[in-house]
Amino acid sequence: MNRFLKSFVVALILAVAPAALAMASQPAQAQAADPSVAQVQGFYDTLTAAMKMGGSTKGRYDRLRPTVEKAFDLPAMAATAVGPSFATLPDADKKSLIEAFTRMTVANYAKSFDSHRGETFTVEPASIARGSDRFVKSSMKTSSETIAFNYRTHQVGGAWKVTDVYLAGNISQMAQKRSDFASTLASGGAAGLTKRINALTDQILG
């Protein structure tokens, strides 16, 4: 893990006013393998393996993309990040934005988690039910700090997939993305936003 992740953490904390994640509901009934927990754990297992392998950012991107697509509901996340106007966009624009958002998401993980220096990920064994969603609590421990990552998941086609990640326990990445995307979307529309996201991803992968 390099300095990119620490600056990413600090930027989110400064950019988004903390809103406590209401997770006071009773834990989802414990099962031998909580499916939402298993999804997050599987993602972490692949992320850790990619960190240990090192190599280029592009190489990690290629290894991580299938797992990210399996664990995250990227179309739903892209829609949330764009906001209500996403629903009215032509299908071609939706498809382009989802692909750009997917590339950016995978590239950020590939860049942020570039090597392994003893980091460990811990996932709590039971998710917390809140309406039709489940929240999975986890943390990453480094040599100097422990960072909380909580995942909001919902059921898609029989699988539980991530729809948002809460950094430091309560800072919504989707809220941050919507704030980041708003001005570009207003000035350049869907095409302008897609172009900007792809340009940023190209810089990360370059």
Please report, for the chain, the start and end positions of each structural domain, with discontinuous segments joined by +.
3-205
For residue 31, the model assigns a pLDDT of 41
- Strand 128-130 and strand 133-141: the pairing is antiparallel
| Closest of 8, 101, 1 to residue 60, by C-alpha | 1
Superfamily grouping for domain 3-205: Tgt2/MlaC (3.10.450.710)
| Pair 26, 129: CB distance under 8 Å | yes
For residue 23, the model assigns a pLDDT of 40
**Tens digits of per-residue pLDDT, 104-126?**
999 999 999 989 999 999 999 99
* 3-class secondary structure, 114: coil
Residues of the chain with pLDDT under 50: 4, 6-32
For residue 168, the model assigns a pLDDT of 79
For residue 1, the model assigns a pLDDT of 55
Q: What is the pTM of this model?
A: 0.84
| Pair 141, 52: CB distance under 8 Å | no
